[in-house]
């Protein structure tokens, strides 16, 4: 993973460094701590200048500093992972492979064909010297961040960067839409002294829509986020990229004559692991579940093995646990998504290598603790026993136990229970359950110093809650319980697996139940189609910036192209059944897969969003709505 940045000026009146913000440079270096370089291209006869800044987190093959430049003056910046589509050898670096392939492209169609073939997350910037062209874009789902900014008042400067900083009005950054690949004709722009963009949009190969219709839709959508002085045009050849996944199957099977949701109350008693077993007794259902396990297993395998490991671990089949470190971490709540990812990662992470389970909790308010009824207090004692079982807590002093109870949030409880399930599946694996405990004061401090700049340009209450929770979790600083002793621990893992994408595809959110009750399966299909269409702008750019800030790379197994195509091929009835209660009906196919993988109680845990499970949402105003603009993310935030 990398931090990439490019600044283009069409006027020689300003030095290009005038536009390179030192704060942005600092953010980019945090993303790519292993190498930082800059390169300036000046084309004096055309009066344009380009600054390229590359910051590398070394993960695969030989260390390859960026930006790359070849003998023909082409320049390449790459923030991505090639998991399939283009061959990358075990000892090769995918940045170098991509640059070599781009150099062989002789036409626009060749470049589009290359990017259409890629499988994996990416954003890139490519300067094609012979044609004075600047290409850039994000993958189909926007799994890697890329922001742009254009200011017409300062000599036509145009900026692209993986991460920005909170800006004053008039200089806002926007996320580059994951609508296709963009191209700037620098020669033409230098001549007119004005910027214009050309777009090559994504298109499903089997879509019935005409190319012209796709162009109109995408142009309208993308132009909304562009300043008025930056025109957007479609390429004259009407070339498109091939979408890497198949369209959603909207077939609605005739299962019963009941109206949506009518039998929910009648099957409340069915929320049990035995219910899942009854589903698996159907041979057809079991076959589909195993196909899903196979494709998701491959997605996880690619993401835990496409990683440089220490030389001594390559030559040792069974490394001793005393001197091995974790290379893979999982954002871990103990919920169904993270449990399945952890269980599959266990199948492929080398024997003897620990896996870090990153579990975040925010300090429970004292006043809330004091208001507990006797029943709630009894429940808390049960939860504390789950949080810190007697056999592992017998040596802890009272102060430490009390400290633990302050962080006994729902995700800590289910995380502890999930740890026991994973230990039962593979007791020989070292599972580092990292308890990441965050106080209100630390939350305020780090939000102002770091997190608000990473969430930006998003700005809602929901972005704040999720962004802060993920930042602290992925930082990986906390404690692990080692034979009854809490020891400080910082996760060294450079790869962080996250379960995002499961809820969006498998009807995991409460809004999906509301939609199903109102509009039935047809309405639910439309909602799920919209979920993936907007995931780039709602979630993925933000999460990439947040996790990347720690010099770590986010990897999303549920958003693997093969996984999405498999799930898109199934009718909705094969993936979820919202006539069944919470804990069973949503993400049904994933729960069945978990059961087949040997998981137990976690298979029937209802969905709980991270902002509620970690209790960060309880720290702020209860009157806030998730979609409200968050005052805490403003330049001068208002602290309560």
pLDDT by 10-residue block (mean), the chain, 640 residues? 91 73 92 95 87 95 95 97 94 94 95 97 97 97 95 74 79 90 93 89 78 81 78 87 95 56 43 89 96 98 89 40 81 96 97 96 64 45 43 51 76 95 96 96 94 93 95 97 88 97 96 96 96 94 97 98 98 96 95 96 90 81 82 62
Tell me, yes or no, whether 449 and 506 share the same domain: yes
Phi, psi of 421 (to 5 degrees): -65, -45
Tell me, yes or no, whether 300 and 234 share the same domain: no
Residue 233's SS3 state is strand
Q: What is the pLDDT of residue 635?
A: 57
Tell me, yes or no, whether 567 and 424 share the same domain: yes
Whether omega for the bond prior to residue 251 falls within 30 degrees of 0, making it cis, is no
CATH number, domain of 573, equals 3.40.50.620
Residue 387's SS3 state is helix
Q: Among the three residues 220, 242, 264, which one is the final residue of a domain in this structure?
A: 242
Q: What is the pLDDT of residue 399?
A: 57
- Domain contains 118: yes
> How far apart are alpha carbons 595 and 618 in whole angstroms?
33
- Domain contains 413: yes
Name the token pair of 315.
Answer: 């030559």
- Residue 156: left (phi > 0), alpha (psi -120 to 50), or beta? left
Question: What is the tally of structural domains in the chain?
Answer: 2
Tell me, yes or no, whether 231 and 133 share the same domain: yes
- Domain contains 261: no
Tell me, yes or no, whether 329 and 454 share the same domain: yes
DSSP 465-532: HHHHHHHHHHHTEEEEEETTEEEEEE---SEEE--TTHHHHHT-SHHHHHHHHHHHHHHHHHHHHHHH
Residue 136's SS3 state is strand
Edge-first strand listing for the sheet containing 355-362: 485-490, 477-482, 431-438, 355-362, 328-331, 495-497, 553-555
| Domain enclosing residue 110, as ranges | 2-242
Whether omega for the bond prior to residue 457 falls within 30 degrees of 0, making it cis, is yes
Among residues 2, 50, 468, 630, which one is catalytic? 2
Tell me, yes or no, whether 124 and 199 share the same domain: yes
HEC-encoded secondary structure of 291-347: HHHHHHHHHHHHHHHCCCCCHHHHHCCCCCCCCCCCCEEEECCCCHHHHHHHHHHHC
Tell me, yes or no, whether 302 and 173 share the same domain: no
CA angle 149, 150, 156 (to 5 degrees): 145
- Domain contains 577: yes
Tell me, yes or no, whether 398 and 485 share the same domain: yes
pTM of the predicted structure, to 2 decimals = 0.90
Name the token pair of 67.
Answer: 């930006």
> How far apart are alpha carbons 474 and 484 in whole angstroms?
24
- Domain contains 71: yes
CATH number, domain of 226, equals 3.60.20.10
Beta-bridge partners for 79: 123
> How far apart are alpha carbons 144 and 555 in whole angstroms?
10
Burial of 206 by CB count in 10 Å (0-12 exposed, 13-18 middle, 19+ buried)?
exposed
Q: What is the pLDDT of residue 245?
A: 97
Phi, psi of 290 (to 5 degrees): -70, -30
Question: What is the 8-class DSSP label of residue 451?
Answer: I
DSSP 557-568: GGG-HHHHHHHH
Q: What is the pLDDT of residue 437?
A: 95
> How far apart are alpha carbons 254 and 148 in whole angstroms?
47
Tell me, yes or no, whether 456 and 577 share the same domain: yes
Helices in 8-143 by DSSP H: which ranges?
A: 22-31, 94-103, 108-117
- Domain contains 254: no
- Domain contains 264: no
> How far apart are alpha carbons 229 and 530 in whole angstroms?
30
Identify the CA nearest to 287 among candidates 627, 574, 617.
Answer: 574
Tell me, yes or no, whether 347 and 416 share the same domain: yes
Q: Among the three residues 224, 242, 260, which one is the final residue of a domain in this structure?
A: 242
Tell me, yes or no, whether 156 and 221 share the same domain: yes
Active site residue 2: yes
> Count of CB atoms within 10 A of residue 198's CB?
20
Q: Among the three residues 201, 224, 242, which one is the final residue of a domain in this structure?
A: 242
Tell me, yes or no, whether 581 and 496 share the same domain: yes
- Domain contains 530: yes
């Amino acid at each position: 993973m990398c931090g990439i940045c490019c600044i283009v000026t069409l006027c020689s009146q300003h030095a290009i460094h005038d536009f390179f913000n030192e704060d942005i440079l600092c953010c980019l270096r945090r993303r790519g701590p292993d190498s930082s370089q800059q390169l300036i291209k000046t084309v004096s006869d055309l009066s344009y200048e380009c600054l390229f800044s590359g910051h590398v987190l070394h993960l695969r093959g030989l260390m390859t500093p960026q930006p790359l430049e070849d003998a023909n003056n082409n320049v390449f910046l790459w923030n991505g992972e090639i998991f399939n589509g283009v061959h990358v050898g075990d000892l090769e670096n995918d940045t170098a492979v991509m640059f070599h392939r781009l150099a062989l492209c002789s036409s626009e169609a060749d470049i589009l064909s290359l990017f259409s073939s890629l499988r994996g997350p990416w954003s890139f910037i490519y300067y094609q010297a012979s044609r004075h062209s600047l290409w850039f874009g994000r993958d189909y789902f926007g799994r890697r961040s890329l922001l742009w900014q254009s200011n017409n008042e300062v000599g036509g400067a145009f900026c692209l960067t993986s991460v920005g900083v909170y800006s004053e009005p008039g200089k806002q950054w926007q996320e580059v839409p994951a609508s296709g690949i963009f191209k700037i004709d620098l020669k033409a722009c230098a001549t007119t002294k004005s910027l214009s963009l050309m777009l090559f949009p994504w298109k499903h190969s089997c879509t019935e829509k005409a190319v012209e219709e796709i162009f109109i839709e995408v142009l309208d959508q993308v132009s909304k986020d562009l300043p008025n002085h930056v025109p957007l045009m479609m390429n004259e050849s009407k070339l498109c990229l091939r979408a890497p996944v198949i369209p959603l199957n909207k077939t609605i099977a005739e299962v019963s004559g009941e109206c949506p949701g009518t039998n929910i109350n009648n099957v409340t008693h069915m929320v049990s692991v035995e219910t899942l077993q009854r589903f698996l007794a159907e041979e057809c259902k079991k076959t589909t579940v195993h196909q899903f396990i196979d494709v998701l297993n491959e997605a996880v395998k690619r993401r835990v093995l496409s990683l440089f490991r220490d030389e001594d671990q390559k030559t040792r089949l069974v490394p001793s646990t005393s001197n091995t470190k974790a290379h893979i971490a999982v954002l871990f709540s103990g919920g169904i998504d993270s449990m399945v990812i952890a269980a599959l990662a266990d199948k492929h992470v080398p024997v003897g290598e620990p896996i870090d389970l990153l579990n975040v909790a925010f300090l429970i308010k004292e006043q809330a603790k004091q208001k507990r009824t006797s029943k709630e207090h009894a429940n808390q004692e049960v939860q504390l026993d789950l949080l810190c079982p007697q056999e592992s807590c017998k040596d802890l002093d009272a102060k430490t136990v009390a400290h633990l109870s302050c962080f006994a949030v729902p995700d800590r409880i289910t995380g502890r229970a999930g740890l026991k399930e994973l230990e039962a599946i593979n007791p020989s694996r070292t599972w580092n359950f990292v308890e990441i405990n965050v106080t209100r004061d630390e939350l305020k401090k780090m939000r102002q110093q770091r997190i608000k700049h990473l969430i930006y340009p998003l700005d809602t209450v929901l972005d704040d809650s999720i962004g802060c929770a993920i930042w602290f979790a992925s930082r990986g600083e906390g404690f692990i319980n080692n034979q009854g002793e809490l020891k400080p621990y910082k996760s060294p893992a450079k790869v962080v697996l996250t379960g995002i994408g499961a809820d969006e595809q498998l009807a995991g959110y409460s809004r999906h139940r509301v939609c199903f009750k109102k509009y039935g399966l047809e309405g639910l299909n439309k909602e799920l189609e919209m979920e993936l269409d907007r995931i780039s702008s709602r979630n993925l750019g933000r999460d990439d910036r947040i996790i990347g800030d720690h010099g770590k790379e986010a990897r999303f197994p549920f958003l693997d192209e093969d996984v999405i195509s498999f799930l898109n091929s199934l009718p909705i009835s094969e993936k979820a059944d919202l006539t069944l209660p919470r804990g069973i009906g949503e993400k049904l196919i994933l729960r069945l897969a978990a059961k087949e993988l040997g998981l137990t109680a976690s298979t029937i845990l209802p969905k709980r969003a991270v902002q509620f499970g970690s209790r960060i949402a309880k720290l702020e105003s209860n009157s806030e709505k998730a979609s409200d603009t968050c005052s805490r993310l403003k330049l001068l935030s208002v602290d309560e």
